[in-house]
Chain A
Amino acid sequence: MGALPALVVVWPIAGACALLVLGRILPRPAVDGLALLIAAVLVFLTVRLLVDANRGPVVTWAGNWQPMPHRTVGIVLVADRFAAALVVLIAGLTAVALLFGWHYFDNLRAHYPALVLLFAAGMCGFALTGDLFDMFVFFELMSVAAYALTGLEIEDPESVQGGLNFGVINSLGAYLCLFGIGLLYAHTGQLGLAQLAGVLAGQQRETVVVVAFALISTGWLVKAAVTPFHFWLADAHAVAPAPVCVLFSGVMAPLGVYGVARLYWATFTVAIPSVAVHRMSLVLAVLTMVVGTVMCMLQRHLKRMLAYSTIAHSGMFLLGVSTLSPAGIAASAIYLCGHAAVKGALFLMAGALLAHYESLDEHRLYGRARRHRLLGVLFVTAAVLLAGFPWSATGLGKALLEESGHSVVLGVLVIAVSAGTGGVVLRAGLRIFWGLGRRPATADDAEETTGAREESDTDTPPGRTPATMLTAVLMLLLAAVTLGLPGVLGAGTGSAAGAFCDPAGYTARALHTVPAALPPAPPEVGWTGIGLGLAALSTTAAVLVAVLGLARVSRATPAGPVRMLHRLHSGHLGDYSAWLVTGCALLTGLLWLP
């Protein structure tokens, strides 16, 4: 079925339009039900696409402008297995976000589900398209929907400021990216990824090509929230409604890393030396992991804490890409599945807490949520999974990342990131739901966002958590556990990653719709004894971090470099833009060095 990739993009857009029209007439439950139905159909379509893509890539030429031997004018959607799997993830999380939103928003009619569906359409298009300019257009489609979703609660001062920061920084990133696309088009006269690869095949280290790649990568990495482009993410995640955060954190940020990886393997493997791309991605990945983890450990605002852990994990995805090998890509992909599920569940539980207690401050919530035992158990479970518990998807991805890096230092760093981010979330869970440890001080520091006076997205009465919310959380956690069991994601991910890292294969699939001549040998993907040991080690370390955090009487004001780092996150648009330019220059320099 060749029309399926196009349908995956068109269906949610049509659904959003229908919702906006019918939203004025239909009662609230009917609007929510219809939105959920549209999302369910989208999940069905994407799963069908994945099944088809497993047999062979599904390629759609818009308007049936099929390629001719020496000339192509059409625009293509290429659903290889990797892209199709990503689209399934997008659709699944969209359905979960809508399910959770069922009882969550009270005063929003059809706008919320319509925006979520538009957002999903943009992300699906970005994942599937084989055309550079279309990537930009879908990037902007998802961005605009995302800005609106961030500022959804227009009554809340933090929410609108977060939306504005997000909008300005991402727009600037997108324009740098478009500038790069323009330069590339001026140089080659092509926009299709496969066609570009054909023109660039004979050229090495042309200055304009390096600059163009750097500018486009900047655009995608702003979305991925890689340091020093990450500032907007914490602001946006802290203020966006919880179900929206599931999509932001679970797929939108990782899509940026996917964009860079796709672009490199489909187009630039010859034109840019692999050592330069390796250096660029490795430096940024390590920087991101360190900054994300340190900032995560300093937070008491629950959603900001989760946001910084997403930044750290974004660095882990980039670390997998930096190996420039199918093994690294497979590791990142599996880690992404685990991250999306666990982080999604945590954001939803933070949303449930906000609905019950109108606060997201770890210190003020101390011991207050003792009544919600089930939620507490789930929260602590999710924190342990986040740390990379053995036989979970996060654990498997983390173990594979450590093995694919072939470096003890990087392995230790990955364990430290997992243990740090997981441990802090575990500490917060034990404090909030079980009242463990000493009571933390609740004094406010002008230099930080505490989340003490958050406005709830809903007026659900405090009491039982609605069944739809719990179902959404349970589904995500179940996915995180089952996906990590031996044999579930193993061989398929390996061969999909092998095909992803095969430039000749991509050109063959996109332009000639025949399988590549020699599919490269897929990497081994699965649990090993060492992997299990490392997973157990990082879980233990996370528990240790949590216990140490609980034992400390009150947090001394961070001193020295940590305080400096804290102050860099100023919430000021001008600072963020300056960092954007600095980062772009850094990125270009790293690519340019011989």
Chain B
Amino acid sequence: MTLFPYLVAGWILLAGIYGVVRSRHLVHTVVCVSIAQSSTYVLLLAIGYQRHATAPIFGPANPPDSPVVDPVVQAMTLTDIVVSATVTALLLALVILVAKRHGTVVPDRLHALRG
């Protein structure tokens, strides 16, 4: 196990959140949210990865005791991608509505909710 992929995952997460904090366009905000989420893909795949291991599908070429990568984290990543697609689609739909109702997509100019 090497530390590198974990550091990459942590970096991507922080970069995504930083992007949301500094965002000047709501579509950019939503993309940054997806970037923050993509850090979890890197993390999960890094956890399951093994050198010289194959996909977790057993058959004649790949007998049951041969080394394979962890299928649990792969399943988790797939679930995560589905969640991400749903959330991103919903947030983008809301951004379109914000653009229609407020006439702007700049977070600094949204003043409907304060205090």
User: How far does the alpha carbon of A147 sit from the alpha carbon of B90 in the complex, in Å?
Assistant: 8
Measured between alpha carbons, how far is A48 from B6 in the docked complex, in Å?
Answer: 46
The reply to whether A158 and B112 form a contact with Cβ atoms under 8 Å apart is yes
With contacts A160-B94, A171-B33, A182-B43 taken as known, whether A573 is within 8 angstroms of B114 at the C-beta atoms is no
Asked if residues A175 and B13 are in contact (CB atoms below 8 Å), the reply is yes
Which residue of the partner chain, among B22, B87, B114, contacts A447 with CB atoms under 8 Å? B114
Instruction: Find chain B residues with CB under 8 A from A175 CB.
Output: 13, 16, 36-37, 39-40
Contact between B112 and A157, CB atoms less than 8 A apart: yes
Query: Which residue of chain A has the shortest Cβ distance to B113 in the bound complex?
Result: A571
B110 adjacent to A172 (CB under 8 Å): no
Contact call A577/B21, Cβ cutoff below 8 A: yes
Q: Are A449 and B94 in contact, CB atoms less than 8 angstroms apart?
A: no
For residue A137, which residues in chain B have a CB less than 8 angstroms away from its CB? Answer: 79, 83
B114 near A569 with CB under 8 A, answer yes
Which of A63-71, A148-156, A424-432 forms part of the interface with chain B? A148-156
Which A residue sits closest to B46, measured CB to CB? A186
Q: How far is the CB of A4 from chain B (nearest CB, A)?
A: 25
**Does A52 count as interface, using CB distance less than 8 angstroms?**
no
B38 to chain A, nearest CB (A): 9
Q: Nearest Cβ in chain A — how far from B108, in angstroms?
A: 7
Q: Which of B20, B26, B83, B114 contacts A570 (CB 8 A)?
A: B114
Please name all residues of chain A whose beta carbon is closer than 8 Å to the beta carbon of B112 when the two chains form the complex: 157-158, 161-162, 449, 571
Contact B114 A148 (CB under 8 A): no
B55 CB within 8 Å of chain A: no
Question: Is the pair A164, B87 in contact by a Cβ cutoff of 8 Å?
Answer: no
Check A271 for interface membership: any CB of B closer than 8 A: no
Tell me the smallest distance from the CB of A82 to a CB of chain B, in Å: 27
CB proximity of B72 to chain A, nearest CB, Å: 7
**Does A130 have its Cβ within 8 Å of any Cβ on chain B?**
no
Q: Is the CB of A179 within 8 A of B113?
A: no
Question: Are A185 and B107 interface neighbours, CB within 8 A?
Answer: no
CB closest chain-A residue, reference B114: A571
Chain B positions 91-108 with a Cβ under 8 Å from a chain A Cβ? 91, 94-95, 97-98, 101-102, 107-108
Q: B74-96: contact bitstring with A at CB < 8 Å (1 yes, 0 no)?
A: 00100110010011001100110
- Could you tell me if A164 and B20 are in contact, using CB atoms closer than 8 angstroms? no
Minimum CB–CB distance for B37 against chain A, Å: 5
Contact of B113 among A144, A151, A162, A182 (CB under 8 A): A162
Task: Tell me how many residues of B have a C-beta within 8 Å of chain A.
Answer: 43
Chain A, Cβ-Cβ closest to B24: A574
Least Cβ–Cβ distance between B78 and chain A, in angstroms: 11
Residue of B nearest to A578 (CB): B21
A133 within 8 A of B: yes
A147 touches B115 (CB 8 A): no
Contact with A along B21-34 (1 / 0, CB 8 A): 11100100110010
> Could you say which residues of chain B place their CB within 8 Å of the CB of A571?
110-114
Interface size class of A (residues with CB under 8 A): 35 or more
Q: Which A residues lie within 8 Å of B21 (CB)?
A: 574-575, 577-578, 581
Minimum distance in angstroms from B7 CB to a CB of chain A: 13
B33 contact from A158, A172, A186, Cβ within 8 A: A172
A172-B36, A179-B40, A182-B43 given; A165·B73 CB < 8 A:
no
A179 touching B110, Cβ below 8 Å: no
For the complex, give the distance between the alpha carbons of A445 and B94 in Å.
Answer: 27
Complex contacts, A143 vs chain B, CB 8 Å: 87
Majority secondary structure of chain A interface residues (helix, strand, loop or mixed): helix
**What residues of A have a CB within 8 angstroms of the CB of B87 in the complex?**
140, 143-144, 147, 167, 171
Residues of B within 8 A of A157 (CB): 98, 101-102, 112
Chain B hits for A567, CB < 8 A: 115
B84 CB, nearest partner CB in chain A, Å: 9
B17 touches A (CB below 8 Å):
yes
In the assembled complex, which residues on chain B have CB atoms less than 8 Å from the CB atom of A448? 114-115
Interchain CB contact under 8 A, A140 and B83: yes
Residues from chain A with Cβ under 8 Å of B101 in the complex: 154-157, 160
B29:A168 contact, CB within 8 angstroms? yes
- A238 touches B (CB below 8 Å): yes
A542-583 to B contact mask, C-beta < 8 Å, 1/0: 000000000000000000000000110111111101101100
A163 within 8 A of B: yes
- Please, which residue of chain A has its CB at the minimum distance from the CB of B87? A171
* Cβ-closest chain A residue relative to B97: A160
Chain B residues with CB under 8 Å of A186's CB are 47
Is B69 positioned at the interface, with any CB of A under 8 Å from its CB? Answer: no
Question: Does A272 count as interface, using CB distance less than 8 angstroms?
Answer: no
Partner of A449, one of B20, B29, B102, B115: B115
Q: Which of A148, A186, A234, A235 has the most CB of B within 10 A?
A: A186
Distance in angstroms between the alpha carbons of A448 and B114 in the assembled complex? 5
CB of B40 within 8 A of CB of A151, answer: no
Contact B83–A179 (Cβ < 8 Å):
no
Docked complex Cα distance between A447 and B80 (Å): 39
Q: Which residues of A contact B26 (CB under 8 A)?
A: 164, 573
Interface pairs (22), CB distance under 8 Å: A140-B86, A140-B87, A147-B87, A147-B91, A154-B101, A157-B102, A157-B112, A164-B98, A167-B87, A168-B33, A168-B91, A171-B36, A171-B91, A178-B40, A182-B40, A185-B73, A446-B114, A448-B114, A570-B114, A573-B29, A575-B21, A581-B21
If A133-B79, A448-B114 are given as contacts, then 17 extra A-B residue pairs at C-beta distance below 8 Å, sorted by A number, are: A147-B87, A147-B90, A167-B87, A168-B29, A171-B33, A172-B36, A175-B36, A175-B39, A179-B9, A179-B40, A182-B40, A186-B47, A447-B115, A449-B115, A571-B110, A572-B107, A577-B20
Chain A contact residues, CB within 8 Å of chain B: 133, 137, 140, 143-144, 147-148, 151, 154-158, 160-165, 167-168, 171-172, 175-176, 178-179, 182-183, 185-186, 191, 234-235, 238-239, 295, 298-299, 304, 445-449, 566-567, 569-575, 577-578, 580-581
In the A-B complex, list the 6 residue pairs whose CB atoms are closest, starting with the nearest: A448-B115, A571-B113, A157-B101, A160-B97, A158-B112, A186-B47
Interface residues of B (CB under 8 A from A): 9, 13, 16-17, 20-23, 26, 29-30, 33, 36-37, 39-40, 43-44, 47, 72-73, 76, 79-80, 83, 86-87, 90-91, 94-95, 97-98, 101-102, 107-108, 110-115
